[in-house]
Amino acid sequence: MSQKKRQKPVVWVEQILLKMLPHQDEEEPASYRGSSGSCLVTIRKMPYLGSEDVVKELKKALCNPHIQADRLRYRNVIQRVIRYMTQGLDMSGVFMEMVKASATVDIVQKKLVYLYMCTYAPLKPDLALLAINTLCKDCSDPNPMVRGLALRSMCSLRMSKLDQWGQAEVLNFLLRYQPRSEEELFDILNLLDSFLKSGSPGVVMGATKLFLILAKKFPHVQTDVLVRVKGPLLAACSSESRELCFVALCHVRQILHSLPGHFSSHYKKFFCSYSEPHYIKLQKVEVLCELVNDENVQQVLEELRGYCTDVSADFAQAAIFAIGSIARTYTDQCVQILTELLGLRQEHITTVVVQTFRDLVWLCPQCTEAVCQALPGCEENIQDSEGKQALIWLLGVHGERIPNAPYVLEDFVENVKSETFPAVKMELLTALLRLFLSRPAECQDMLGRLLYYCIEEEKDMAVRDRGLFYYRLLLVGIDEVKRILCSPKSDPTLGLLEDPAERPVNSWASDFNTLVPVYGKSRWATISKCHGAERCGPELPKTSSFAASGPLIPEENKERVQEVPDSGTLMLVPNLQLTADYFEKTWLSLKVAHQQVLPWQGEFHPDTLQMALQVVNIQTIAMSRAGARPWKAYLSAQDDTGCLFLTELLWKPENSEMQISVKQNETRTETLKSFISVLETVIGTIEEIKS
Amino acid sequence: MISQFFILSSKGDPLIYKDFRGDSGGRDVAELFYRKLTGLPGDESPVVMHHEGRHFIHIRHSGLYLVVTTSENVSPFGLLELLSRLATLLGDYCGSLGEGTISRNVALVYELLDEVLDYGYVQTTSTEMLRNFIQTEAVVSKPFSLFDLSSVGLFGAETQQSKVAPSSAASRPVLSSRSDQSQKNEVFLDVVERLSVLIASNGSLLKVDVQGEIRLKSFLPSGSEMRIGLTEEFCVGKSELRGYGPGIRVDEVSFHSFVNLDEFESHRILRLQPPQGELTVMRYQLSDDLPSPLPFRLFPSVQWDRGSGRLQVYLKLRCDLPLKSQALNVRLHLPLPRGVISLSQELSSPEQKAELAEGALRWDLPRVQGGSQLSGLFQMDVPRPPGPPSHGLSTSAPPLGLGPASLSFELPRHTCSGLQVRFLRLAFRPCGNANPHKWVRHLSHSDAYVIRI
């Protein structure tokens, strides 16, 4: 018995809320945004005007079987109750009797009673539960008026009984609901506003997620919600519970991906303290990297500089890598700090600094000069493979600016016999050959020695083959060597592609308050992959095999595909292979599902675009050569449900715009939208890089 | 939705195991969890772990692992909240949470779990509601005695009458034997503040953060009303002004949903009818702007002779608390360069202790009086780093790996924000003659008071 009683609130209120929402607009005028809680039935403070006698008398009357038998008298008594209620007397004492009075065929009486119940339900939640039985029965009444009345009353019953766990469940449940109009959407948001202020982090985050998802077309509302959840998140980040702190930090990072400045003024909250466990420190360092801006960069870098000499080598290295990633924006300050760190002459520091330098000159060529000046002397403090490779690469590519580069490489050549890592030897071969091109006199002799060693004595076949390859290349002639080895020394666009700034909130809203941010997106992908494989078993063909065998979706799979709800989340399948013929056939057989134009100025490298599209798993089937006018490209992509997106890009320089036409082999508006937004992001990014 | 819940001791022995849905593995998951946890690489977080379609989410509490498994992509905030709520509940019902109490009260714990979770869904976690369904009585290790002052617990200390309750007084189950309930009418109220501070090597303050809580543990019959009066100058936010003095200012406050704030605006009084057991009445935060001076300043001086490898560290610790106050269990932790072998010390008073532990200097000061100044001189030998003699680096620079110093301590009867409980009034009148006992305590503590060297 007792068990049953406790379960009720959760179950009922779920039903109520579900039923409530579609009727929202009928029952109350749309309220404007921001008037939080204006839709809630407000309970005024009832003045206590010696109502005991009145209540006692009314109670007696309501219980009187003679009155109950006389419809008019019964109704009169109830009317009196309502009248007193309106005057502000506390009539909650007769709740029980009023609930009984609701079981009647008299619709007027029913209406009165329901009015009463809606007013007092929050005060008497336990008793209000009894009324629900009657309400439910009325919902299946043959009379539509009774049905409507019951439903409406049920919607107006606001019970505060729900505990935090129930609230979290209901908020989660509401994610399934799609509001039918903008007004309805804002009504729901107003109604649920108070949950953002709950004392329970679970409820606050549940409400936040619901808001983010419901307001997916209103970025300013989303930003608003994220501002409001800042306080609770920051509190959780400095919570005594490490576990909560960690989870909150993961979510902070998620938010920072879309709103980089969101936590910038609170940067001090993310400083590490000595007693924290490693995994929290690492998260905090990541957060610091992401929230850095012009105002706090000085303080953040100073803080990170402090971590670089931490006793834990792992943590120190993480801090150095963090400075390296900040260096992409604040190059000069960071390169200076990194150079100072080399002065400490610690192996574990030097190796990471040199690796950071290597990545940095590739992305930010403007710092090459400073890096080249810092390098001399580093070789004494590098012992590991990664560090050696980075140093040798730098000496090879930028050796003409480093006076002692040949001598450092010479040391490596001298000791090549005792070198244990094949990767270092490979790097050494390439670097020395490159340096030979710019400084032949100093390198010729040792290049000969190195090639001789690699070809005659080296036991690792890959190194030996590389040596032979370079040897034969040299035989062809120096021009050919130059043509093959002298590639660009930097590629600033790569950084932007690697790390597409400001992902839209909608790209992660559905992951908010789940385990995805806690595991990290990439680990989650592997987890859900093996999890999915386990569940589906072997009968599901591998996505890549779809494409190879003519028709894209085998007949028997069609049903399965249709079962997948049109959720709007898009997962494009990597390595989709379509033949040009098949593409052409499909393209011609389909109608254009979406067409739009994007601004597009001036010349660009088609290769960059192709690479960028590849990153998001959109394959290029064919494209015009660079400089062709009008310029065209055909792209294809497929999502994990098998839906195929075929795209034509058409650039007409005279209008300075890019026309996008997308065709789809199944009509799915939601995924189409997500696909378009992916495409827009990529094209937008390329456009930014150009300018 | 939870598949399993289990409690492991700090050594990995299963103490409690319950499967709610029978949809995953057997009992060996507990062992699997512990193996995974101990085998985890240092940079990976143990909070959420994955194994064959099953997620393990856990918290560490009082040396125990409280773990749930689930196969769904659940809300991590909700689950962690549930776990810490469970920890509080078990503490409420068993008296305190620990390996011993759990293994003595296995039946009670299973009974509780049965009521709290049904088929993996949370039913209720309210101590009050659960009281109606729990039949088993807690087994307490030894009868509660006023003379037992040995163990240090959270609740219990001075009252307004400046009588002292033993710290373990609050460590008893809410559901004690129904016969002698009359003598157990007690309320414990703690104002606890956690301080985290970061001071730069030049002495400038980089960060101050105070996380405060008012925690209540009530053994009164549920629903009896009480009023908690806070300092009247208590202001929330940067702009509010109250009283004529500088005010007691905090940045943000949140209250438990039981708290009635009708009298808060006017008189800073919180009214509530708490259920039995533990409850966080109010939480607040304060950063950057402390009304009182910081409790400690450290004046280090380091001499480092690179040639001989002799490192000399002189630490002067000044306590800036009011003269009558004191700090307890002060511990200074100073990481040292790698490979330090020997330590000689000169300490300013005999009750202090210093030793080398895990590559760091640990200096224990059991008691530091306000306004006093203590010092320690430490000499160490640091082996010379291998490799060629370094040049280009000034010899006076401190060696790598030294510092920062971090302090941990407790400040009884002190709140950093200045917030005080003015009074605690109970509307409850017992039928017998015994008036309920009220115990109010203020405490600040820190485990992250970092000073760069």
| Top-ranked range on mean pLDDT: pick from A54-58, A470-474, B144-148 | A470-474
Least confident of A410-424, B61-75, B151-165, B414-428: B151-165
A240 vs B335: CB contact, 8 Å cut-off? no
Q: Is the pLDDT of residue A10 over 90?
A: no
- Report pLDDT digits (tens) over B179-238: 444 456 788 899 999 998 988 888 888 889 898 999 998 888 877 889 999 988 888 887
Residue of B nearest to A317 (CA): B43
Q: Is the pLDDT of residue A610 over 50?
A: yes
Residue of B nearest to A300 (CA): B206
Q: Of A7, A252, A311, A526, which to mutate for an interface test with B (greatest number of B Cβ within 10 Å)?
A: A311
> What is the number of other CB atoms lying within 10 angstroms of the CB of residue B73?
17
What is the least distance, in Å, from the CA of A10 to any CA of chain B? 9
- Chain B positions touching A346 (Cβ under 8 A) are 400
- Chain B positions touching A200 (Cβ under 8 A) are 81
Q: How far apart are CA A481 and CA A479, in angstroms?
A: 5
Closest CB to A6: pick one of B78, B79, B129: B129
Q: How far apart are CA A167 and CA A192, in angstroms?
A: 10
A268 vs B287: CB contact, 8 Å cut-off? yes
pLDDT at A233: 93
The residue ranking higher by pLDDT, A239 or B167, is: A239
Closest CB to B45: pick one of A246, A269, A345: A246
Q: Of B36, B47, B135, B199, which to mutate for an interface test with A (greatest number of A Cβ within 10 Å)?
A: B47
Q: How far apart are CA A189 and CA A212, in angstroms?
A: 10
What is the least distance, in Å, from the CA of A304 to any CA of chain B? 13
- Average predicted confidence (pLDDT) for chain A: 80
Q: How far apart are CA B26 and CA B31, in angstroms?
A: 10
pLDDT band at A467 (very low <50, low <70, confident <90, very high): very high
Put simply, the chain A residues between 325 and 384 with a CB less than 8 A from any chain B CB are 343-346, 380-381
Which residues make beta-bridge pairs with B164?
A: B158
pLDDT at A63: 87
By three-state DSSP, how is residue B267 classified? Answer: helix
Put simply, the chain A residues between 235 and 254 with a CB less than 8 A from any chain B CB are 235-236, 238-244, 246-248
Q: Of A171, A213, A275, A278, which to mutate for an interface test with B (greatest number of B Cβ within 10 Å)?
A: A275
Strands B252-255 and B277-287: antiparallel
Strands B234-236 and B252-255: unpaired
A518 vs B48: CB contact, 8 Å cut-off? yes
pLDDT band at B178 (very low <50, low <70, confident <90, very high): very low
Closest CB to A240: pick one of B194, B256, B401: B194
Q: Is the pLDDT of residue A4 over 50?
A: no
Closest CB to B43: pick one of A282, A345, A346: A282
Closest CB to A519: pick one of B48, B78, B82: B48
Q: How far apart are CA B181 and CA B175, in angstroms?
A: 9
The predicted complex's ipTM stands at 0.81
Annotate A513-570 with DSSP letters as a single string: TSSHHHH-HHHHHHHHHHHHHHHHGGGSPPHHHHHHSSSSS-HHHHHHHHHS------
Whether A165 contacts chain B with CB within 8 A: yes
Which residues make beta-bridge pairs with A487?
A: none
- Report pLDDT digits (tens) over A420-432: 999 999 999 999 9
Whether A173 contacts chain B with CB within 8 A: no
Domains and CATH numbers, chain B: 4-131 (3.30.450.60), 186-291+414-446 (2.60.40.1170), 296-382+400-412 (2.60.40.1170)
The residue ranking higher by pLDDT, A416 or A38, is: A416
pLDDT at B257: 81
Q: Is the dihedral of CA A419, A425, A431, A433 positive or negative?
A: positive
pLDDT at B386: 52
By three-state DSSP, how is residue B297 classified? Answer: strand
* Kind plus residue range of the DSSP H or E element containing A164: helix A164-174
- Chain B positions touching A309 (Cβ under 8 A) are 400-401
